[in-house]
Amino acid sequence: MIITYYGHSCFGVEVSGKKLLFDPFIASNPLAKNISVQDIQADYILLSHGHEDHVGDAESIAKRTGATVICNFELHNWMNSLGVTKTHPMNIGGHWIFEFGKVKCVNAVHSSSLPDGRYGGNPMGFLVETAEGNFYYAGDTALHYDMKLIGDYKKIKFAFLPIGNNFTMGIDNAVIASDFIRCERIIGMHYDTFEPIRINHEEAKRRFEQTSKELTLMKIGESIEL
């Protein structure tokens, strides 16, 4: 799998010949000013919840690329109302088999409203199972005990976890989350974008190292293969 970081919680994951894009928020993210939204390709766009910092560029990228948007039912209705017709509505607990693998929607403890203030349904995370390995995209969430279910039933190759604190869990709880999901390779997200979520990178990596885990903090625009 090839993972590309576009800033905040936005990642591209290339798997089984398909391009997945999670929570696009680029044009309004000053830290991602060197990323050109128009150049991002996607076959599928996965949205964890309705907050602006997760859906900011979903409409424009979906319309330009013709990508299918995978999201909760409320976001699906909203996308449809904006003229994005290729959507696949889901909800927590359900899974669906796509061309690239299986997506299961899992619990996230957070809130969700649309950029215009309307109800955005329940926030969620995604467990993605593919022929190249399984990964967990947590979305915005607090540490919660349901994460143990993921670790109990699936082997997770790597996980995207929020680490910025204030709006989501911070480093301490993300370390515990990585224990719950039994995953040693964590890619950090939802940090540095706004003042209350600035973190000390070295300190964060050290905290994971202390429990024999690896925290990867990708540079915006960087790609890695896992």
Stretch that binds Ni ion, among 14-22, 46-54, 142-150, 211-219 (CB under 5 A): 46-54
23: alpha, beta or left, given left = phi > 0 and alpha = psi -120 to 50? left
Residue 74 contact partner, candidates Mn ion, Ni ion, none, CB within 5 to 8 A by sort of partner: none
Per CB under 5 A, contacts with Mn ion among 51-80 are 51, 53
Per CB under 5 A, contacts with Ni ion among 120-159 are 140
Number of residues that bind Mn ion (CB under 5 A): 3
Q: Could you tell me the two tokens for 133?
A: 């390995």
Q: Please, are residues 168 and 110 in contact by the beta-carbon 8 Å criterion? A: yes
Residue 51 lies near Ni ion (rule: CB under 5 A):
yes
Residue 125: which of 191, 51, 48, 24 has the closest Cα? Answer: 48
Residue 14 lies near Mn ion (rule: CB under 5 A):
no
**4/193 with CB nearer Ni ion:** 193
Which of 32, 140, 180, 191: binder of Mn ion (CB under 5 A)? 140
Residue 23 lies near Mn ion (rule: CB under 5 A):
no
Residue nearest to Ni ion (CB): 51
Per CB under 5 A, contacts with Mn ion among 147-186 are none
Q: Which residues bind Mn ion (CB under 5 A)?
A: 51, 53, 140
